[in-house]
Amino acid sequence: MPGFEVFGEEERKAINEIFEINGGIIFAHSFDAMRKGVYRVREFEAAFAKRMDIKYAQAVSSGSTALKTALKALGIKRGDEVITTAFTFVATVEAILECGARPVIVDINETLNISPECFEDAISSKTRAVIPVHMMGVSAQMDEIMYIAKRNNLKVLEDTAQGLGGTYKGRTLGTIGDMGAFSLDAGKTIITGEGGMVITSDQDLYIRARSYHDHGHEYSSTVGRGAEAALITGFNYRMTELQGAIGIVQLGKLDMILARQRENKKKLKGAISDLPIKFRTITDESGDLGDTIVFFLDTREQAAKFVTKMAELGLGTKNLPDAIRWHFAKHWKHMFEEYNFYSDSYQIEWSKSADLLERAIALPVMVKMEDSRIFEIADKIRKIHKEL
């Protein structure tokens, strides 16, 4: 997840321009006379929508608020149930709770994304939506998910925080469901410090998302902000011009980032592919972002030993297992107790996910990785496996 690897001079220039051109207006709205026609957030939204090949994009303050804004646009409210996966960043479930709805958390399969069968089994009369999460650059099984969702009249929100720029059967991730939510935080594929994006092809959903993220503002073309009507009850999840300016520059680097990651992943995976380890199942290889290589050991004990040896040789992992605590529902006691769901069962739920995740090791693939470094990592992995 490498936006931070290619962050520097161009981004600095874009920030400086805000001061040089329009006197430092960093609010995305109003100040019309002072800002000399510069609206970086709007430009970023337009560029993002174009790159994603979708009609509407709404910039927001984070990936977490993108998820909440999308759920609000979709009409999720108290008493509703929203299904999602046991393997995701904690924010997916927080966003559901923020809407007053009940998260229904289901197992993953060998793709490490939501199991379509488990999704279908979890549907109740209260279910309104599903949030598939494209984890670590690999798409969820969207054909199956869309089919089940349609038959049950459910909305689909793609959590594309870790899938920015990926595709599934030729379609850009985030554009397949009713809405897509992206994160631009410091660890993601492109970064704006903090930031997020909500996309949709549906005009009504877009208007609701735009309105919700900004106190319900109607975004009138005839009256100023102060005189605008409120369409719905909202909140403030606005993006600033600083983030917009950075986002435009980072978006311009996206295709380079993807190309390099994919090339490096191919090399590194190729160099360890003859080892008797099982790799994660990849739904659509050509659409993979290429930022992670996941493989499974036979047992949890072996995986623990493997990671200890990796650390000894100076190799790190990406979330699995180092930050599993933030990405696997089994560890979210704080939430279950505070909101009283799964509070009696979380230790025994999601055993299939636990079996997969606790045997999994995720290697980060960087944009900037010399061949010598790639082969050094591969050699170390081979050595550790031999000694296991």
Ligand X SMILES: *Cc1c(COP(=O)(O)O)cnc(C)c1O
Interface residues with ligand X (CB under 6 A) are: 62-64, 88-89, 91-92, 133, 159, 161-162, 183, 185, 196
- Distance in Å, CB of 89 to ligand X, minimum: 4
Indicate the residue among 38 and 101 with the shorter CB distance to ligand X: 101
Give Cα separations from 379 to 180, 230, 365, 382 (angstroms).
39, 60, 15, 5
Residue nearest to ligand X (CB): 63
Burial class (CB in 10 A: 0-12, 13-18, 19+), 348: exposed
Task: Answer for the pair 117, 83: CB distance below 8 angstroms, yes or no.
Answer: no
The answer to whether the bond into 103 is cis (omega within 30° of 0) is no
- Distance in Å, CB of 63 to ligand X, minimum: 2
Task: Answer for the pair 318, 365: CB distance below 8 angstroms, yes or no.
Answer: no
- Distance in Å, CB of 57 to ligand X, minimum: 15
Tokens of 10: 């161009």
Indicate the residue among 142 and 297 with the shorter CB distance to ligand X: 142
Task: Answer for the pair 90, 327: CB distance below 8 angstroms, yes or no.
Answer: yes
Indicate the residue among 1 and 310 with the shorter CB distance to ligand X: 1
- Distance in Å, CB of 99 to ligand X, minimum: 15
- Distance in Å, CB of 320 to ligand X, minimum: 13
Rg, C-alpha atoms of the chain: 21
Indicate the residue among 175 and 183 with the shorter CB distance to ligand X: 183
Helices 371-387 & 300-312, crossing angle to 10 degrees? 130
Task: Answer for the pair 198, 209: CB distance below 8 angstroms, yes or no.
Answer: yes
Tokens of 65: 């608020």
- Distance in Å, CB of 361 to ligand X, minimum: 18
Q: List, in sequence order, every residue forming a beta bridge with 167; answer none if it has no partner.
A: 172
Indicate the residue among 162 and 261 with the shorter CB distance to ligand X: 162
Indicate the residue among 35 and 72 with the shorter CB distance to ligand X: 72
